[in-house]
């Protein structure tokens, strides 16, 4: 039983040493993580199907905003 406890203790020490070495290496190389900044993007509804799409991924024409070129060619759906 004492050998098992010794083995577990050795594993814990190895784990702690590796973690501390990893942090020291990253900080010495300047590899710290930059804080995440939230970028807000507008979401628009497709004039044909109504699917919500980020503005940067959609297409804009004189007829409105569309989710794909196919829907742009079909044009806006009539709102009955």
Q: What is the pLDDT of residues 12-59, one digit of tens each?
A: 999 998 888 776 655 555 555 556 677 788 999 999 999 999 999 999
Answer whether residue 22 is part of any domain.
yes
Are residues 27 and 55 located together in one domain of the fold? no
pLDDT tens-digit map of 50-64: 999 999 999 999 999
Answer whether residue 67 is part of any domain.
yes
Q: What per-residue confidence (pLDDT) applies to 23?
A: 67
- In our burial notation (b when 16+ CB lie closer than 10 A, e otherwise), range 55-71 reads eeebeeeeebbbbbeeb
Are residues 31 and 58 located together in one domain of the fold? no
Q: What per-residue confidence (pLDDT) applies to 45?
A: 96
* pTM, 2 dp: 0.50
Q: What is the domain range of residue 65? A: 43-74
Answer whether residue 53 is part of any domain.
yes
- Domain count across the chain: 2
Residues across the chain: 80
Answer whether residue 10 is part of any domain.
yes
Answer whether residue 54 is part of any domain.
yes
């Amino acid at each position: 039983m004492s050998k098992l406890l010794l083995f577990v203790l050795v594993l814990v020490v190895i784990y702690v040493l590796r973690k501390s070495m990893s942090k020291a290496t990253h900080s010495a190389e300047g590899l710290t993580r930059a804080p995440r900044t939230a970028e807000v993007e507008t979401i628009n509804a497709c004039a044909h199907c109504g699917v919500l799409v980020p503005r940067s991924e959609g297409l804009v024409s004189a007829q409105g905003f569309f989710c794909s070129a196919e829907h742009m060619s079909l044009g806006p759906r009539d709102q009955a």
